[in-house]
Structure 1
Amino acid sequence: MAEADQAVLGIVIPLHNSAGTIAEAVGALLPELRPGDRILAVDDRSSDGSPAVCASLGVEVAASDRPPGAAGTRNSGAARCGGGWILFVDSDAVAPPGWRAALEEGMREADAIQAVYASRAPGRSASTFYKNFYYHYTFTRRIRTRYIPGCGTFFFAVRRDLFERLGGFDERIAGATVEDADFAARLTAAGGRILLLKGLEVFHLREYDFPGLMKYDWRMIRAKTMYMARRDRGHGSLSLSMAGAAEMVSVAVGAGSVWLAVAGAALSFAHPAGPAVLAAGAAAFVMSQARFWVSSVAAGGLRGLRACFVGIPDLALVVPAAASAMAAVLAGRRY
């Protein structure tokens, strides 16, 4: 394949009830398309008219011919979109100006390219800001390497030949949970390199209220834990985050210390060591989260401060959600 052909993009946008966001997502892509680039929106059984919205924008739409869920929908689009590279873009992800040139530069040195979350967030909800800024902070502050072990398919490009050799996403993984982590594990195990472009900040349109965020993160933690416990060993080294294990220590400490503080508070009613345990847990939690809190307030002001408080129950979800997942694994569930 000629070098010019290799740089051609087949862009896959999965649709599932995305009528409220797809126009802005597509609108950010269209002005920068190069000759040969193609956008294919793949509908996964929408009921809100998403395909019609795409068609009105002049975007080609196809119905998914694979099993329901993110993995099947992306695989369906990848098989039909053409291009030497496949770019997966979520229907609520708005690319920044210059995205196409940034990808082409990255193609020269990597097998796959990962964008990052923008620091800003839509709406006024502290939960929405927390979710977006958490990912932004992880991508841009916690990760300190150019190449990463994981991927997030909200804006992720990969060489077609490598994608096809790996068999695409695992369609046995239901919903939109760990299919990207599984693919990244297989990609890196095969010798592929995922380049993180910290300057390619993608704005997300999805908004969360507090119950919705807790429900979403509970489901994701359970899915990741179950994958970790029962994944196919031939799928490469574990990759549950874009960051490496050492870079996520502060998150692990936060998740554990919040329950140490809770245990200390409960113990205070029955044992003199309770206050000391409470103080130790609280101190460990504050120390593990202080840098994130400072950055959150600097980026979001009062909204960023409110987001810091959202992070406390969010981290507290980790232990019970993981325990629930392990119970499901012992009961025989796979993913």
Structure 2
Amino acid sequence: MAFPDPCFVSLSARVVLAVWSPAVPIEGQSTLTGSFGEVITPLSGLRVPQTDGGTRLVFALRRTDEDTTFMLAAGGLGSTPVAYSRETAKPISDTIFDGLTPAGRMSLANALVSAWPNLFHLQRDKGFIATLRRLLPAPEGDAARVVPLLGAGRALVFETQVPRQFGPVKSGYIVDGDAIIPLKLKSLAATPTGDRANTRRFFVDTPEAGEGLLVLRGTKGMLLRRWSSAAAPSAEAWWRKQGHREPGLREECIALLNAHSPAARAASVEFQLRCPLKPAAVNGGPMLPGAQIELALAGKSGMLFSGWYRDPSDFIEGFDVLGPNDTPISLDAVTVTFPGQIANAEGKPTAATGLLGFVPAVTGPLLQPRFLMRLKSGVRHLLTPAVQQLDWPAARAAALRSVLPQALNDHIISTCLAPIITEFQDAAKATVGAAEIRQFGAPVDDPLVSIIIPLYKVLEFLPFQIAAFASDPQIAYRCEVIFVLDSPEQAAVVEHMLTGLHLVYGMPMTLAVMPRNGGYAIANNRGAAHARGAALVLLNSDVIPTENGWVGELIRRLNDPSIGAVGPKLLFEDDSIQHAGLYFHRDHRGRWLNHHYYKGMPRHYRPAGEERLVPGVTGACVVTRRDIFEKVGGFTEDYVIGDYEDSDLCLKIRAAGFEIAYVPSAELYHLERRSISSSSDYMQGVASQYNSWLHEQRWSDAMAELMAEAVTPAAQPRRVA
């Protein structure tokens, strides 16, 4: 029997072990103290079982340079003195494991790898590391190999053999020549079958480690494997080498890479683009079911999916999305259906059922989630969409096209569209970047007013607008004009136009070119950030003044400190009224919508000629003080494309304690929706309904209170399309 007498062995230059295997059973507590009962700190004790039924006592403590005597109390055996001197402490050897049961050997090995290095700070003690490598040599043979499957930066997926009876792996360490390195280790759900059933996959954040030992710890023991520092293949190389098998493992690796680091996330996206899955749909015949998933946008918040199915013979039971290790996740509880049409083989429209839903459990960027069509017979058909949009604005546009406008309702918006559109809108805002400023002519010294005009696609009215500005002394000499180009691909064209118009009129202008499209609110806010005037005129590019002096008429009303914003009378091309103040009214479904007072009435309709306080004014031309605009945070930037930001701004200004005024003495033509109509997503109506819903979520109570007090005109005009 090893260690029949108490003795000390040297674990490292700083730590020794007191070891004893008493010849008789030990009952009760075992302790190690100083010769006079002094408490030793730090101290770690183990009682490990031996094959002969006995117990081995092992105590770890700091080495002392002085010769001394310790008292070892072993249960009912009483206290035994143990003499210690630095010279007589034996070097530790693998005899420390002799005579121990497998459980005892495992308990001692765990202490060597984890407990004692942590307690005595031995993780980077090279003497201790060398001792540990000697005590726990790397096993030989293929079963002990660590095989790297794929890697991206520090992210690594590897596999190694783990006996089935070992149970779950709880933690891991690498022991190389320099350190014991704890691993952030995750077991993968996707595991091989058949003759490789003992193989398990792991995802790890790899430290900077050399060749050494991989230690896997579980509830049932410890495994030692040979660790290699060789570089792992890329995800693309792995996927091509293994023949495009195991798509479930592919998706699990994609999810882990996405969550690991920006570098690993970029590698995941590149992998999905370079190695796309083959799209799969089910084309049923006249009597058989068919289905296709056309959209599957997976972001941080979850996945929005949409598509269609036909089931003329009532064969379909439901649909699933495949999770890690091809685990099906039922979509029955989250799927919304609506009537639709698809083109048949002859290109003719055929009735089909649209389907739409949002799944928080599936996150991205996952560019091709896989689905199953579940039949009542038990048969499953794979449905794989094409590679999905990666660009945030394009993904947002795809989400807006996922449902027919006539099928849209508040439930679909709140449960399906809102989570993903909010995420994409936030991401699109974050990637817009800073505007590039270009100046035409010497800037106006100390301008009183800054006129901010977003430009998007439509440029045909720009010469007329600038001509009207240049002929107005108030604008030419006291205002700065800032154009914000929100379609940067037109930068060269706009710069050429403004250069020519400046040569013709001599009016100074500023052009802020957005790096990418950000939308109405962001464009206005970026323009306001460059403004120097005390007052801001926020003007659409399709608004043309009828005469000079309109800016002064509007600014005059801001001299009243109770007024926070003002707006003019806006006219259609036929001189009918487009806007004489904005108010809120519920539609037949109870939704709050924006309306314009006296829309469609003649230009000189008497009630529209009265200057008055109104619930709000349109963003086509709204004038406010810069300090108020900044106080309320400018335009709210999470409305899509451009709608309801104006009423939102007015409600924020009202919430800050100011009133909104309508000033009919200032008249301008507004060629309504010429710019916004260039967005097909908006004109489909989905974005408008989404913005209306978002606006109502924030301001429903305020609008109800405001309209309960608002004065309704005696003659409500007929609405003109």
Larger RCO, structure (CA 8 Å, separation 6 or more)? 1
Structure 2 counterpart of 1:247, which letter? T
Structure 1 counterpart of 2:689, which letter? R
Corresponding residue for residue 52 of structure 1: 496
Corresponding residue for residue 194 of structure 1: 660
Structure 2 counterpart of 1:15, which letter? L
- CA contact 2:611–2:663 (8 Å) conserved in 1: no
- CA contact 1:87–1:156 (8 Å) conserved in 2: yes
- CA contact 2:483–2:511 (8 Å) conserved in 1: yes
Deviation (angstroms), 1:182: 0.8
Instruction: Report the CA distance shift for 1:14/1:243 in structure 2 as closer, same or farther (over 3 A).
Output: farther
Alignment counterpart, residue 698 of structure 2, candidates 222, 231, 238: 231
- CA contact 2:451–2:481 (8 Å) conserved in 1: yes
Deviation (angstroms), 1:38: 0.4
Distance 2:688 2:639 in 1: 14
Deviation (angstroms), 1:66: 8.3
Structure 2 counterpart of 1:116, which letter? K
Deviation (angstroms), 1:56: 2.6
Distance 2:532 2:556 in 1: 20
Deviation (angstroms), 1:115: 1.1
Corresponding residue for residue 297 of structure 1: none
- CA contact 1:11–1:87 (8 Å) conserved in 2: yes
Instruction: Report the CA distance shift for 1:144/1:102 in structure 2 as closer, same or farther (over 3 A).
Output: closer
Distance 1:88 1:198 in 2: 17
The correspondence of residues 96-115 of structure 1 with structure 2, limited to 5 A, is: 96-97=546-547, 98-109=549-560, 110-115=563-568
1:81 matches 2:531: yes
1:13 matches 2:453: yes
1:205 matches 2:671: yes
SS of the residue 1:117 aligns to: strand
Distance 1:44 1:243 in 2: 38
Distance 1:193 1:103 in 2: 14
Corresponding residue for residue 262 of structure 2: none
- CA contact 2:554–2:567 (8 Å) conserved in 1: no
Superposed CA deviations along residues 13-61 of structure 1, whole A, max 9, x for unmatched, are: 1011132111112222223226442001011024453343234323221
Deviation (angstroms), 1:168: 0.4
Structure 2 counterpart of 1:149, which letter? P
Alignment counterpart, residue 651 of structure 2, candidates 146, 163, 185: 185
- CA contact 1:152–1:242 (8 Å) conserved in 2: no
Distance 2:708 2:498 in 1: 34
- CA contact 1:12–1:86 (8 Å) conserved in 2: yes
Deviation (angstroms), 1:171: 0.9
Corresponding residue for residue 25 of structure 1: 465
1:292 matches 2:692: no
- CA contact 2:643–2:688 (8 Å) conserved in 1: no
Distance 1:191 1:217 in 2: 37
Normalising by structure 2, we get a TM-score of 0.29
The correspondence of residues 211-226 of structure 1 with structure 2, limited to 5 A, is: 216=683, 218=685, 222-223=689-690, 225-226=692-693
Greater Rg over alpha carbons, structure? 2
Deviation (angstroms), 1:176: 1.1
SS of the residue 1:171 aligns to: coil
Instruction: Report the CA distance shift for 1:143/1:186 in structure 2 as closer, same or farther (over 3 A).
Output: farther
Distance 1:199 1:243 in 2: 28
Corresponding residue for residue 117 of structure 1: 570
Distance 2:610 2:559 in 1: 21
Superposed CA deviations along residues 142-165 of structure 1, whole A, max 9, x for unmatched, are: 797711121211111100011001
> How many residue pairs get matched?
241
Instruction: Report the CA distance shift for 1:225/1:147 in structure 2 as closer, same or farther (over 3 A).
Output: same
SS of the residue 1:169 aligns to: coil
Distance 1:168 1:132 in 2: 22
Normalising by structure 1, we get a TM-score of 0.59
Structure 2 counterpart of 1:177, which letter? D
Structure 2 counterpart of 1:78, which letter? A
- CA contact 1:55–1:61 (8 Å) conserved in 2: no
Distance 2:659 2:683 in 1: 29
1:64 matches 2:514: yes
- CA contact 2:482–2:510 (8 Å) conserved in 1: yes
Corresponding residue for residue 318 of structure 1: none
Distance 2:667 2:461 in 1: 17
CA RMSD of aligned residues (A): 4.1
- CA contact 2:469–2:476 (8 Å) conserved in 1: no
Distance 2:685 2:609 in 1: 24
More strand by share: 2
Corresponding residue for residue 137 of structure 1: 598
Structure 2 counterpart of 1:238, which letter? M
Superposed CA deviations along residues 293-335 of structure 1, whole A, max 9, x for unmatched, are: 8xxxxxxxxxxxxxx6xx4xxxxxxxxxxxxxxxxxxxxxxxx
SS of the residue 2:712 aligns to: helix
Q: Among all aligned residue pairs of Structure 1 and Structure 2, give the percentage whose two residues are the same amino acid.
A: 21
More helix by share: 1
Stretches of structure 2 that go unaligned for 5 or more consecutive residues are 1-444, 503-508, 581-594
